[in-house]
Structure 1
């Protein structure tokens, strides 16, 4: 209870921060969310979407995308170690397998396991904004967006720039990045290189992460544009407690490759986008780091896809149509050689009527070679009471097929279940949001009725570590009900010497009728959020120093609650030479987010930035 009071009285944290520029002023009209087909201004969307803008990304006390998302209401980040070396992302009580990650609309689906979905080759400093869709996204993105989706958006500057950062900290942490933009006429291009490493905060938790990301765009003419992305990430880490506590010397090495080519055509009322992409994940996992002959898994998974998305605007509204074809393959010493194919068709329409009302309805039909056709309808209705206030409601269905790991993986700690059924859900949401010049707030209620929820369970044991193996299975039916509230206020109190810029607060509650089966332990389902309070403040001193403080109270269904307090101080952040200090877990809390990994206590980081712009 003390944690609740401390957060409520000391600081407030944003649900979403919307301005695309580096500013504390809220301007929702400047953001347009592109959901693969339709472009809709943020303030006309009838969904609960959080947008994390550039300034928030830079000033959040975090070293990774995962850590930044941890401060987003309704998003549950379960990290294994620091700096996001591996983390699970859940939304509204959903598991990491039920969340879809995207880069500029390109899906990062991993058929082996969504543990690897966050192997993202983009350095944090190269991200323009992050869009978080809460609730079912199957009608928009397909079957993987079961409980929500996260889209990472980068940009191609039209001016030459160079950004260099270096940092160091506790646990032998060190690293940095180089990001360069070099446009040549109509050809825009950006390259990003980053390195993060640490000796680890406890036994066998060291890591090295290297990322390379190249993006380019070329305006062929006024109507046609080409964009390309190439990314590579290499991650090697000690995995003590990641998947089991029976083998503290676990070790893993992962390489992820991503390439994508996109063509866009725009002519008055008609928009057409076609793209193809390929993602490869190479995973080597050892139960004993220095004894690969004892037990080693090697997996190579490939995802190849083609997509077509289009919209047409007429006097009757905006119509959208999309097609996608995707093939997923894996070659594995444990899972065997597997492959599966998907075909999807999207159709939707949006209209505005009676001056203040708008409606959007559509359906996604998916064909999977093992389960046949599945259909996911959905609809949204919005009422713009005035320029500042909006009421909305929506409903939709969602669907997720099991991963190859759930179906076929086995080792001394885990058993597979090839008889798993796909997860299905029916979702409903109703909300209200207020957006004024300096104030934004939102209240949302959601309901999700889930069938065939997949969880890993095992029989308890008096022996430590537990010798019984985890096995995935379908839980018959689970009801989720949740309440999300938030408020953000750009106060701008004080003078140039000391000014309080913004205060904000969010509270999320999730009630699930899921109970642990008698005589069984749950690995994932009972770790979902129950209560979440996120709060923060940002202040400015002498026009040069910015202080950001953020706190979280997290309570999951079957784990002890904990409170975390983090802070970051930036000096000359957007100047040619800047410095920063970060303090994580200031309250020195003891907590576990995922697996059996004891997260670190209080720790510190410091670094510098160099900015060159022409």
Structure 2
């Protein structure tokens, strides 16, 4: 590690001190949503999509992507601890296994368990933006984008820079991040390294998290480009009551490696991206931290995938097409040696009917060696009523296959079920978007009718949990959101950003007498999120975030977080953050008590090359 840090420090000698350009002036309406085939501007999407840009990432009182996502409307974050050690992410009342995580369009699903979905080997400082697609994503991204999909986007730049961030706080928490760009001719490259650790906020909640991320790309000519990525994360943590309240000494260590290589061909009316990627996840779990012989699981999962996605334009509109194949393997002392192959074909069409109406429809056909062929159609219709108002509606079928843990796990508190069938759902939504003069507002109603919902159940506390298929479950709800952002001015005090959202979700799952369920009856029910970013002078920013959360059959709670930045976009900046200022007692996952009021503070060093 010392040698690595020395290399990064040397890397910074290429640079001269220069103030960073603020990302505030980015026009969110013109951002192109990074889907794999047909890419549409954010303002023209006929879907409920949330966009978290660089400014929001930098000013939110959060130390991890998981914590940032907790402020996205309709997203339910269930953390086991702080700063992203482990978290489950649900969308629109869906479980963590029903959300698909992606990195630059690459699927991060782990065949062993959905609990590894957030093992993202990218430091926060390297993330350019996050796109959250709410609702069925199977037609767009394939199986497992059941209740939604989250795509983390990084970017390559022509500019040289070095960012250094460090912080410390309560619970013996500390961390440091290095991120740099050193383009050479036509070759662009980013390298980043981060390290975080803590003694823990209660017994056996200590952690150490390391990330290494490298990506590079070259434009061979005006038509051809190559891009590659390799990343690694190591997460080791005390897992007090993570999977069972009966064992406070649980411990886990996870190492994830991700590598990809892609080629892009861009012609005037034709686009094609071909990509290969590999993901490896090693998971060591102990029921008693210092007694591996008492009970221990060792899992190594591997994913090999090939994809080709593209589009072409004709007088009939834009046609998107794609094909994928994915091999999933698992070696486990508990689940056994398993493997399966998934393949898929995508086809969709975007048509503009005059200047106001657009229709996008398509189908995804998936073949799984365990379940055969499945087909998932979907369509959206958008109506641009005027320059400010857009109305939309859509329908889609979504699909999720069981993980190997769902099927085969054997443990003292959990047992798999190899008779499970995949989850399927019919989805419908209707909404309206309005945007004018820095304001954005959206109102949407959604309905998800699920067949064969996979839920972990047990008849009593003495019996292990086991997943079962429920025949039919209906989720429906509404989301209302208001967002405002203005470019900074010389005003002494200025509201630079304001947001407020409310989500209500209803589930009609009927609990069977004498049967306890683990996840379905703790789904998000009421969620209110508010925030205001205030600029004071030219260098001071004060961000306040508030959340009111109520889950089904659980007590509601209110949280307030704050962050103050000084000279964030300058050469040397300082920040201070406070979480849970109200000192609320609350639980997000299982029976794990989250910490009360806690603080951290740090610095930012921005080194850019001069022109």
TM-score by length of 1: 0.95
Q: Deviations over 1:254-292 (max 9, x none)?
A: 000000001000010000000000000000000000000
Q: What's the CA shift for 1:468?
A: 2.5
From 563, 570, 582, the equivalent of 1:568 is 563
Alignment pair present for 1:140 and 2:170 = no
Q: What's the CA shift for 1:115?
A: 0.4
Do the aligned residues in 2 keep the contact of 1:491 with 1:503 (CA within 8 Å)? no
Cα distance in 2 for residues equivalent to 1:308 and 1:495:
49
Q: Kindly report which structure 2 residues correspond to 1:196-235, keeping only aligned pairs within 5 A, or say none.
A: 196-235=196-235
Gaps of 5+ in 2: 1-20
Cα distance in 1 for residues equivalent to 2:217 and 2:431:
38
Q: What's the CA shift for 1:335?
A: 0.1
Q: Deviations over 1:549-589 (max 9, x none)?
A: 00000000121111110000000001110000000000101
Alignment pair present for 1:277 and 2:272 = no
Q: What's the CA shift for 1:23?
A: 5.1
Q: Deviations over 1:484-507 (max 9, x none)?
A: 000012368996322222222100
Do the aligned residues in 2 keep the contact of 1:492 with 1:499 (CA within 8 Å)? no
Gaps of 5+ in 1: 1-20, 461-465
How many residues are aligned here?
589
Cα distance in 1 for residues equivalent to 2:527 and 2:464:
31
Do the aligned residues in 2 keep the contact of 1:26 with 1:439 (CA within 8 Å)? no
Other-structure match for 2:4: none
Other-structure match for 1:302: 302
Cα 1:449/1:361, change in 2 over 3 Å: same
Alignment pair present for 1:159 and 2:159 = yes
Cα distance in 2 for residues equivalent to 1:571 and 1:30:
29
Other-structure match for 1:41: 41
Cα distance in 1 for residues equivalent to 2:220 and 2:240:
51
From 474, 478, 502, the equivalent of 1:507 is 502
Cα 1:493/1:280, change in 2 over 3 Å: closer
Q: What's the CA shift for 1:34?
A: 2.1
Alignment pair present for 1:350 and 2:350 = yes
Cα distance in 1 for residues equivalent to 2:34 and 2:486:
30
Q: What's the CA shift for 1:25?
A: 5.9
Larger mean Cα displacement after TM superposition, 497-506 or 344-353: 497-506
Alignment pair present for 1:334 and 2:334 = yes
SS in 2 for 1:253: strand
Cα distance in 1 for residues equivalent to 2:291 and 2:572:
46
SS in 2 for 1:179: strand
Do the aligned residues in 2 keep the contact of 1:25 with 1:437 (CA within 8 Å)? no
Cα distance in 2 for residues equivalent to 1:493 and 1:418:
57
Runs of 4+ aligned structure 1 residues displaced above 6 Å come to 491-495
Alignment pair present for 1:69 and 2:48 = no
Q: Deviations over 1:226-248 (max 9, x none)?
A: 00010000000000111001111
User: How large is the RMSD of aligned CA atoms in angstroms?
Assistant: 1.2
Q: Deviations over 1:195-226 (max 9, x none)?
A: 01010111100000000000000111110000
Q: What's the CA shift for 1:366?
A: 0.3
Q: Kindly report which structure 2 residues correspond to 1:170-181, keeping only aligned pairs within 5 A, or say none.
A: 170-181=170-181
Cα distance in 2 for residues equivalent to 1:441 and 1:69:
19
Q: Kindly report which structure 2 residues correspond to 1:305-320, keeping only aligned pairs within 5 A, or say none.
A: 305-320=305-320
Cα distance in 2 for residues equivalent to 1:66 and 1:551:
16
Alignment pair present for 1:186 and 2:186 = yes
Larger mean Cα displacement after TM superposition, 341-350 or 513-522: 513-522
Do the aligned residues in 1 keep the contact of 2:198 with 2:206 (CA within 8 Å)? yes
Other-structure match for 1:587: 582
Q: Deviations over 1:87-121 (max 9, x none)?
A: 00000000000000000001101000010010001
Larger mean Cα displacement after TM superposition, 301-310 or 509-518: 509-518
Do the aligned residues in 2 keep the contact of 1:24 with 1:501 (CA within 8 Å)? no
Cα distance in 2 for residues equivalent to 1:206 and 1:158:
39
Other-structure match for 1:241: 241
